[in-house]
Structure 1
Amino acid sequence: MNTVLITGANSGLGFETARRLAAAGRPVILACRNHDRAEAALEKILDESPNAQVTTLALDTSSLKSVRAAVDSLSGVKLAGLINNAGISPLHDGKTPDGFELVFATNYLGHFLLTLLLLPQLTPTARIVNVTSDMHNPPGGITWPGVEHLAHPSKVDRRKYAYSKLANLYFTYALARRLKAQGSKITVNAFNPGMMQTNFAPATRTKEEVDEIKRRMPDRIGDLDTSADTLAEMMTKPSLSKRSGAYVDRDRGVARSSELSYDERNQEELWEASLRFTGMETLDE
């Protein structure tokens, strides 16, 4: 089966990508935190594609317990694709029940654990895509503060969203190296959908606010339909089956991410700390 699991699939980019994959005949698992919204998304997809093979899965990436429970419920299921898409904005503050900064855990750490736990269930040519953002390199730039600051900051840091998206790139590049070294044909790439008006960035902004964002950062704006098309193609297009360790920018193809994102020392620091945070010991535990 060519099943694809998508986190955060009840709305926005995750939902639009799921719609496209389902319409193309790919079995899709909508992995979502909110049961009612997941079921509503499933019903909408089935209304449009009555023969679609779509199921839902309870998954909250901010909770390591929830991630492990979700993987346990998938026992025996083979996956041809994994899209790590779920995320929250920097407006969210607080810590998770595991004691980690909420945005770091939701956008990155939960996906790290999910991916490593699911590796044994991926088909030999499976594709993994980690959704990042060009805000991994925000206006004015950022420096690497160290993993402890990301996971356990002493005070609220409004750059935490940028750090979480940088972490997704570090994870992508570190995992791609390890899979290649093992001789695996599983690919892992990062995708930047651009800034969009979705449930993640609600349409509560005034037209003037939206116009100001477009004026200040025109190169960072994305289109939901266009980005969903690209993300679905990253799961299905035959010519992309061997590409790994790449940063894909909307529909513009492979691009370079920030210089900071290629720092292998930082990538390895994050990898080792993430293994410790999640209780994992090896790549294929």
Structure 2
Amino acid sequence: MNVLANHLFVRLLQDRFAAPARIVITVSDTHFGDFKHNMGMVPGPAWKSPDALARTGAFPEPDTTAAGRTAYSTSKLAAIYLVHEYARRLPAGIDAVAYNPGFVLGTTRAPTGSYVDRGRAARSSEESYDERREGELWEAAERFTAA
């Protein structure tokens, strides 16, 4: 799960961050799960508890391309959940933003917890604003990466 690598990296380095600082986590608009954002190429996320998602075979027919793409969009939704938790938990002046890459010139202004879509702060999917899921994922990521 590419979410855990980001989380472990942030947690290991967080004592070294000094304000002003920005953590940028790469996400994807596939987390919207609609044709407008993925042209039908990637199934939308299929959220489950973090413990279920961490297991092999979390999605039906795990050996298929569709399962891999569902895992991808779900992991990008999870990354946004963690960005929202970082925004709540990190000290003031340490910003966390979710960045959906594209061709962008220059620095993008975005408040902590933002979803940055191709150079501008925007709202992410409605599903990505679920504080219960965000907290649940935070707790699971802490357990999964505990040394």
Q: TM-score normalised by the shorter chain: which range applies?
A: 0.7 to 0.9
Query: For 1:151 and 1:142, how far apart are their aligned partners in 2?
Result: 14
- 8 Å contact 2:30–2:44 — kept in the other structure? no
1:243 to 99, 111, 117: 111
- 8 Å contact 1:143–1:260 — kept in the other structure? no
> How far off its partner does 1:142 sit?
3.4
Question: Which blocks of at least 5 consecutive residues in structure 1 are unaligned?
Answer: 1-103, 194-221, 235-239, 281-285
- 8 Å contact 1:126–1:186 — kept in the other structure? yes
2:15 to 91, 111, 120: 120
> How far off its partner does 1:167 sit?
1.1
Query: For 1:146 and 1:259, how far apart are their aligned partners in 2?
Result: 18
Given the two structures, how large is their TM-score scaled by the length of structure 1? 0.43
Question: Which residue in the other structure is 2:97 paired with?
Answer: 189
Question: Which residue in the other structure is 2:39 paired with?
Answer: none
Whether 2:142 is the aligned partner of 1:254: answer no
CA offsets, 1:195-235, max 9 Å, x none?
Answer: xxxxxxxxxxxxxxxxxxxxxxxxxxx4xxx23x35xx14x
2:29 to 123, 134, 156: 134
Question: SS of the counterpart of 2:25?
Answer: strand
Bigger Cα Rg = 1
Question: SS of the counterpart of 2:4?
Answer: helix
Letter of the structure 2 residue corresponding to residue 147 of structure 1? P
Over the aligned positions, Cα root-mean-square deviation in angstroms equals 1.9
Question: Which blocks of at least 5 consecutive residues in structure 2 are unaligned?
Answer: 35-42
Question: Which residue in the other structure is 1:264 paired with?
Answer: 131
Query: For 2:32 and 2:56, how far apart are their aligned partners in 1?
Result: 20
Question: Which residue in the other structure is 1:279 paired with?
Answer: 146
Query: For 1:137 and 1:152, how far apart are their aligned partners in 2?
Result: 23
Given the two structures, how large is their TM-score scaled by the length of structure 2? 0.80
Question: Which residue in the other structure is 1:148 paired with?
Answer: 51
Relative distance call for 1:141 and 1:161 in structure 2 (3 A) is closer
Question: Would you say how many aligned residue pairs link Structure 1 and Structure 2?
Answer: 131
Query: For 1:118 and 1:272, how far apart are their aligned partners in 2?
Result: 18
CA offsets, 1:35-86, max 9 Å, x none?
Answer: xxxxxxxxxxxxxxxxxxxxxxxxxxxxxxxxxxxxxxxxxxxxxxxxxxxx
Query: Looking at both structures, which has the greater relative contact order when contacts are Cα pairs under 8 Å and sequence separation is at least 6?
Result: 2
Letter of the structure 2 residue corresponding to residue 244 of structure 1? T
2:79 to 168, 180, 184: 168
